[in-house]
Structure 1
Amino acid sequence: MLNFGPNQLISPVPSQNDVSKAHASLLPSLDLNKIEVRMNGLEGLSNGWRSLPDQVKARFEEKYGRIATLMRVKVQIPALKAMLSVWNPKYGVFSLNDIDTVPTMEEYQALLGIPYSTQNRIYLHLEHRQTWKRLTHLLGIPSEEAKSKETVKGNTHGWYWTYLEKRLDQFLQEKQWDQASVALALGIYGLILFPGPLGIITCSTVEVFWAVERQEVNPIPAILAETLLTLTYCRQQGKGSIKCCSQLLYLWIISHMCPVETKGLTWYLDQPPIEKMTRLVISPKNEQQWRERILSFNSHEYCWRKLWTSGQLVLIGTGGNQSVSLIGVTGYTSYTPALVMRQFGLTQTRIDSEEYHQGHFYHELKEEEGLKMARRSWENISLMERSPKGPSATRDYLEWRANRDREHSTVEFEDSDPCRDVLLEEADNRLDDSLQKANTENSQLQEQIKQLEDQQQKLKRKVRRLKEEARAERMGFEEQEVHWEEERDSLQAEVKEMKVQNNKLQEKMK
């Protein structure tokens, strides 16, 4: 494990104001009919992107990553709802059968490819203080106009995209490509990465975009925070609206839940994974079909590790804790990479600490000190190298995992689905079968690893022997070559001598 930053430990965010109820064992029934996934129209953004010259698009991706590709993602909303049904807010993971899984910093970063100068320079949400001034500097809008066009919808302050889109069109018509790129990136941040009320670019989005644009912060923690916050809120309420980057969450879902469709994909430096995944054909499925697919997986069939994230160091904690603090545009949350080590090709072990989830709170609580403490925790980040051996789990973990789910089930639906009880019974049976199968396969894997290590040693010895034989043959060839060169020189001398004698004989004959 590698630790970076000061050695002092940062205490977790205070829990006295935590409204998450993360450790409640009982959850309300989930009515998927009352779950909404509202997505902004992206026609204006798409047209703006198509209007940029290729060289400008290339510069855009160098600066902002592949965020524009999200406009081409066709989201199956039933997939998001079905995944919400297995979200476990107590542990901050999707919990299905004997599997714990969650989007990670590394996966989101590998998909988006957003450049940043320093990994631990993250966004800090503060109370909005004249955000219209930031909009003025970003887009060159007159200050009085930016101030007057600010609108309020519920508790949200911001600007209608239709107003800002006119500024984008103006930049495109005047071929002010740099300014057009800024306006387009702001639109993507406001309508896709951090969506608020439909059609509105919120002040919070402008603040986080300003931090990315002018302060070079890493936006991935904030993007992931919004994903986890909205899942927890909807699951605890049993209803609500999923408000996060749905396109990115959907790509993550199919990357793990669609092994057949993604099996043939290969990843190259010139073909980023997000580009190839947007071309995937996932046959349309309703919520019931997605639920059945999700509940059909066990830990041996699940697509744990993605090849396109290999080679990266894994962020496993901030502030000396096992959890990673995340500050989004709507609130604070955290997640615990130690619960999903198999996604990094590592061995999943039981977690004895109660640190697996630090809860969350929303910015309405005015927890400015708590947020500053969370950002300070990033001054001390813990990283770990991935394992080339592949994902595995210890017996202690599998037993703890099985007992945990018997006490806390997340698959509860309010709708009258005749298949629900059958699915839950099948899931419980699969869980027991998976535990037994895991114990057996774990022993088999350990034996296979030992055999592979023995084979590796044999191969090394064989390689050394072949190298020595090749070296001996090369030396023999070199000696033979010297001998041939000596014979060639001797023959050339004899030929030369014969030519001299031949000339002398011809002189005598004359």
Structure 2
Amino acid sequence: DLIRANLITKGGIQGFPSEFLIAQATFYGKAMSEDAFEALFVLLIYGLVLFPNFDKFVDMNAIRIFSVLNPVPTLLGDAYVSMHLRNMKNGGVIVCCLPLLYKSFISHLPQTVAFQENKGCLRWSQRLMSLTNDDITWYDRVYDTVQIINSCGEFPNVPLLGTCGGISYNPALARRQLGFPLKDKPHNILLEGVFFQEGKDPQGLKARFVRAWRNIRKKGRNELGPKNCIALEPYTSWVRQRAATYLMPYDHPRPTPLDVAGPSTLPTQRVEELREEDLSRAWIREREELLQQLKEKDAMIEFLEHRVIDDPNDTWTSLLPQSSKFWKRKYDQLAKEKADMEAAYEREIKKLCISRLPASRANRDP
């Protein structure tokens, strides 16, 4: 029949030439058969845009994903697998949905005129390496009610299956993009890397990935804390250390000043005011969380100081399984942690004050 007559094989995988599918979509469009036309049109988007393999060819992988109607995990898998392969081979062409990858990428970049115009004709590597933490748009409020898929099945992270292989994705490194705070370096087990290529899977990872998605574990505000979209010093120190260990592929120039023009219309001004309100609420939430942690440490320090250190022979203390020297070490550890937290808190407050300093005053200061 017509389907079998046009089914061909490219690169070891079956599929249909795009010309055949376009002709069929045109036929059903002229016949006013909306359902058939829309199905073929969407299938072409899946095969040529979302999951490209060969030019002018829609393969069976794209058709299967189309039938499932949830392309997101596979889109992520394709992007990560392709970039991982290119990194392993020190170059090459990324094969995935590039328009979507580009859109996601630039959504985090500054929207200022200075950055977008690029009057200095800088390369992308130069423009990106000159950005600072405050230049990045980390979070979109559209994700306020979203829960994170934190892990699946036997894996401590999220196994993603692409059309050309599979790779693990580490949500612990992406929490800030979903609004949650990054407080400390992630545990090594959460960063476990798993990868295989299609047709090269001696460990049977593909089948294990499929089974893992039958047991999805999610996390939200209750487990990850308030949505304040910040990164504290312990985490940023860990990132800097990794960058120094693995080396960045490009030079790190001095940050480029991004001039921001003042609001010229009332709607724009209102948007800025709302943004300031959001930032204020985020800082208030973070302040409350830090203060609560400080109170808890204060309570424990007070207990250790008065019950154990001042009176190590206290009847209640004598029932404890450890000596007073052990508790003294605990006390010193907690005191140091508290001091570190207070220092981090002060640094965050100073950053907030600097960010709110009026431009005119900042220009007058030496």
TM-score bucket of the superposed structures, by smaller chain:
0.5 to 0.7
Seen in structure 2, the aligned counterparts of structure 1 residues 366 and 204 have a Cα distance that, compared at 3 Å, is farther
Give the Å deviation of 1:368.
Answer: 9.1
Match of 2:103 among 251, 255, 272: 251
Matching of residue 238 in structure 1 with residue 90 in structure 2: yes
Seen in structure 2, the aligned counterparts of structure 1 residues 285 and 251 have a Cα distance that, compared at 3 Å, is farther
* Structure-2 separation of matches of 1:282 and 1:168: 39
Residue identity matched to 1:374? F
Match of 2:46 among 189, 201, 219: 189
1:473 alignment partner in structure 2: none
SS of residue paired to 1:157: strand
* Structure-2 separation of matches of 1:285 and 1:243: 31
Residue identity matched to 1:198? D
Give the Å deviation of 1:287.
Answer: 8.8
Residue identity matched to 2:178? F
Matching of residue 319 in structure 1 with residue 157 in structure 2: no
* Structure-2 separation of matches of 1:285 and 1:333: 39
Q: Is the 8 A contact 1:332 1:361 kept in 2?
A: yes
Taking structure 1 as the reference length, what is the TM-score of the superposition? 0.47
Matching of residue 424 in structure 1 with residue 252 in structure 2: yes
Match of 1:398 among 222, 233, 236: 236
CA radius of gyration, larger in: 1
* Structure-1 separation of matches of 2:95 and 2:121: 19
Matching of residue 169 in structure 1 with residue 26 in structure 2: yes
Match of 1:346 among 151, 155, 180: 180
Taking structure 2 as the reference length, what is the TM-score of the superposition? 0.64
List alignment gaps of at least 5 residues for structure 2.
256-341, 353-366
* Structure-2 separation of matches of 1:207 and 1:341: 31
Residue by residue over 1:120-154, the C-alpha shift from the partner in whole angstroms, topping out at 9 and shown as x without a partner, is xxxxxxxxxxxxxxxxxxxxxx3xx3233223333
Give the Å deviation of 1:350.
Answer: 0.7
Seen in structure 2, the aligned counterparts of structure 1 residues 242 and 402 have a Cα distance that, compared at 3 Å, is same
Residue identity matched to 2:161? I
Q: Is the 8 A contact 1:322 1:338 kept in 2?
A: no
1:380 alignment partner in structure 2: 215
Seen in structure 2, the aligned counterparts of structure 1 residues 404 and 169 have a Cα distance that, compared at 3 Å, is same
Matching of residue 364 in structure 1 with residue 215 in structure 2: no
Task: Figure out how many residues of one structure are paired with residues of the other and give that number.
Answer: 261
Q: Is the 8 A contact 1:316 1:384 kept in 2?
A: yes
* Structure-2 separation of matches of 1:365 and 1:285: 47
Match of 2:143 among 302, 305, 309: 309
1:129 alignment partner in structure 2: none
* Structure-2 separation of matches of 1:334 and 1:323: 7
Q: Is the 8 A contact 2:110 2:135 kept in 1?
A: no
Looking at both structures, which has the greater relative contact order when contacts are Cα pairs under 8 Å and sequence separation is at least 6?
Answer: 1
Matching of residue 160 in structure 1 with residue 63 in structure 2: no
Match of 2:68 among 211, 214, 217: 211
Q: RMSD of the alignment, in Å?
A: 3.0
Residue by residue over 1:54-90, the C-alpha shift from the partner in whole angstroms, topping out at 9 and shown as x without a partner, is xxxxxxxxxxxxxxxxxxxxxxxxxxxxxxxxxxxxx
Seen in structure 2, the aligned counterparts of structure 1 residues 360 and 320 have a Cα distance that, compared at 3 Å, is closer
Seen in structure 2, the aligned counterparts of structure 1 residues 306 and 440 have a Cα distance that, compared at 3 Å, is farther
Give the Å deviation of 1:332.
Answer: 0.7
Q: Is the 8 A contact 1:393 1:442 kept in 2?
A: no
Seen in structure 2, the aligned counterparts of structure 1 residues 151 and 367 have a Cα distance that, compared at 3 Å, is farther
Give the Å deviation of 1:372.
Answer: 2.4
Alignment of 1:360-509 (within 5 A): 360-365=195-200, 369-386=204-221, 388-411=226-249, 423-424=251-252, 426=254, 442-445=345-348
* Structure-2 separation of matches of 1:220 and 1:171: 28
Residue identity matched to 1:250? Y
* Structure-2 separation of matches of 1:250 and 1:371: 28
Give the Å deviation of 1:395.
Answer: 2.9
Seen in structure 2, the aligned counterparts of structure 1 residues 283 and 177 have a Cα distance that, compared at 3 Å, is farther
Matching of residue 328 in structure 1 with residue 197 in structure 2: no
Alignment of 1:250-329 (within 5 A): 250-260=102-112, 283=117, 288-319=122-153, 321-329=155-163
Q: Is the 8 A contact 1:320 1:382 kept in 2?
A: no
* Structure-1 separation of matches of 2:145 and 2:36: 35
2:337 alignment partner in structure 1: none
Give the Å deviation of 1:190.
Answer: 0.2
Give the Å deviation of 1:324.
Answer: 0.6
Seen in structure 2, the aligned counterparts of structure 1 residues 448 and 233 have a Cα distance that, compared at 3 Å, is closer
Residue by residue over 1:303-359, the C-alpha shift from the partner in whole angstroms, topping out at 9 and shown as x without a partner, is 111122222112222226441111111111121010122212222121232441423
SS of residue paired to 1:316: strand
Q: Is the 8 A contact 2:126 2:253 kept in 1?
A: no
